Amino acid sequence: MYNLLIGGAAGQGIDTTAAILEKLLKCSGYNVFTARDFMSRVRGGHNFSLLRFSVSPVYSHSNQLDGIVALDEETIRLHKDQLKEHGFILCDSKLSAADSRLIQLPMAAMAKTLGNPRVAGSIAVGAVLKLFGESLEHVGTVLHTFVKQPFFDINVQAVQDGYQSMETRFSHLPGPYSAQMLVSGSKAVALGAMAAGLRFYSAYPMSPSTAVMEALAAKADEAGIVVEQAEDEIAAVNMAIGASYAGARAMTGTSGGGFSLMVEALGLSGMAEIPLVVIDVQRPGPVTGLPTRTEQSDLKFVISASQGEFPRMVIALRNPSDAFYQTMRAFNLAETYQIPVILLSDQYLGDATATVAPFDPQKIPMVESGSVDAGSGEYLRYRYTENGISPRLIPGKSAHLVAIDSDEHDESGRITESAAVRNQMMDKRMKKLEGLQRELQEPEFMGTDDFEILLLGWGSTWGPMEEAVQLLNKNQPGRYAALVFGDIYPLPQQRLKEKAAKARCIIDVEQNATGQLADLIRETTGIVCDHRMLKYDGRQISGEEIAERIRKEELK
């Protein structure tokens, strides 16, 4: 397993260099995981990508580096302590640092000689390939997808020049991953939505959720999707609801601040029983918080957002595969139960790319929009039924009229203040929770059944949790296990109760300051976590950090 950091100031091309490299490494057979850490600025500052590649699965980042590609001195200063003894720091000859691991290469001068200073990044790509014992086999194919035709030849030349200027330090390892996908969480959400038959996506740009909108917009014309940039998040969510009411599968996406604006309309989806899928790509709050960083602090907010009571479903996404299939499933749940379904992602998952098995859209059969059957007699949009689900006709698709109201309403959708109807309507809507209970997917269990210590987590910490269990069990096989929740509200309880009963100690691991999952678990099941390991600095916890913090705690 190798771990490479590419760092520099915003605007220096870190993202492109990392994207080209990760694709080349995947094509040569590696399993790749790239985490992206950047500041909320367009130029300057300090940004980096962490590229981890291995011939066995890697699901998260590591801060122990084999190599650093430094585009500025700041990168060397900030990260050299994370570099292993035999690691390297590749940088331009103009940069200097008192470190024996430094490899200086006149990349800027070489690029200038080639005729374009902007190909310095490609020189670095070539140098890194050689350092890790790679061939130049896939360079042509990969560069075609990143570089425009007029600049293709010069970039290929730059990669070759960089390659020839280096000596190999690490040997190539043959891995089986070349036919896998390399995709980020946010792009996987967009693909899942497309495969689910999305027709309308409305959103207001907000980091880190914009990646979903951009991925959809890039394919919208060919996929037959309307992507509309709304004037604000209130418009975005109300547009999605209007489109869904009229029969187009609809979704909106935002981060916590935008979700705050969407809250009232979330209740409209619940009250008027109009299917809605919303993704909240979380970032640290409160308010503007740390705009480009990661956190899991919106859980309690989204499970209770909006006044009054209505059924809803919240699914936390754990990795890009999960993001794809759960997004598809979210549309089915929203359609079947005529409720809002909220997907919780975060900056770490949204922006990180990972190697995954190619997605299969056929795996999730999709439910059609609207009911086929209007029921017998007069059409009643909110007919009382056994399971609380009423026939949802699409306006204009039959002779029946479809009336919806945010006021309490009777079966025909007309406003009412009748106490009896109010009770019946509330009961009808809340009845859908019984159906939802049967849909719940239990959290993923990592470990073996003879464990003593149980870690609990949710969403994007899935990768770090998996690694932490492995690391912790190295010396004490089987002692540690973990449960990582995807479906999180309503909370699936069966496996949790079963494992909690066996655990000698339960440690809650969350990327927030209070332990929101631990609170939810205690409220729902009475199970109390013995420890809460929390992190809220905006940087994703790694498997190594979880393991280290647990070991330290145990030594006390």
Partner 1 sequence: MNTETFQTHETAWCPGCGNFAILKCLQSVLKQLGKDPSEVLIAAGIGQAAKTPQYISANAFCGLHGRALPAAVAAKIANERLTVIVDTGDGDSYGEGGNHFIHNIRRNVDITHFVHDNQIYGLTKGQASPTSMLGLVTGVQTDGNFNEPLNPVLLAIACGAGFVARGFTGHQEHLKALMKQAIEYKGYALVDILQPCVTFNKTNTFAWYNQRVYELDASYDPADKIAAMQKAMEFGDRIPIGLLYREEKATYHQKNAVLKQGIPLLDKKTDFKYINQVIESYI
Residues forming contacts to partner 1 in the complex (CB under 8 A) are: 179-183, 187, 191, 194-195, 197, 199-200, 202, 219-226, 228, 230-232, 234-236, 238-248, 250, 264-265, 268, 272, 358-359, 361-362, 366, 369, 394-396, 398-407, 413-415
Listed in sequence order, the residues at least 6 apart from 534 whose beta carbon sits closer than 8 Å to its beta carbon are 510, 511, 512, 513, 514, 515
Of residues 84 and 363, the one with the C-beta less far from partner 1? 363
Of residues 236 and 334, the one with the C-beta less far from partner 1? 236
Least gap, CB of 261 to partner 1 (angstroms): 11
Cα gap 143→71, rounded to integer Å? 21
Least gap, CB of 69 to partner 1 (angstroms): 24
| Cβ(294)–Cβ(538) below 8 Å | yes
Of residues 194 and 483, the one with the C-beta less far from partner 1? 194
End-to-end CA gap in the chain:
32
Of residues 67 and 413, the one with the C-beta less far from partner 1? 413
Least gap, CB of 308 to partner 1 (angstroms): 13
CA angle 42, 212, 37 (to 5 degrees): 40
φ, ψ of residue 414 to 5 degrees: the values are -95, 145
How does DSSP classify residue 6? E
Of residues 109 and 246, the one with the C-beta less far from partner 1? 246
How does DSSP classify residue 217? H
N residues, the chain? 556
Least gap, CB of 240 to partner 1 (angstroms): 7
Alpha carbon 360 to its chain's center: 18
Least gap, CB of 404 to partner 1 (angstroms): 6
Of residues 110 and 181, the one with the C-beta less far from partner 1? 181
Task: List the structure tokens of 53.
Answer: 């590649």
Which H helix or E strand runs over 254? strand 250-254
Least gap, CB of 277 to partner 1 (angstroms): 14
Least gap, CB of 206 to partner 1 (angstroms): 16
- Nearest by Cα to 341 from 199, 439, 242: 439
- Nearest by Cα to 41 from 306, 316, 291: 291
Least gap, CB of 396 to partner 1 (angstroms): 5
Of residues 146 and 536, the one with the C-beta less far from partner 1? 146
Cα gap 312→453, rounded to integer Å? 32
Of residues 190 and 546, the one with the C-beta less far from partner 1? 190
Cα gap 543→471, rounded to integer Å? 8
| Cβ(517)–Cβ(456) below 8 Å | yes
User: 């494992």: which residue's tokens?
Assistant: 499
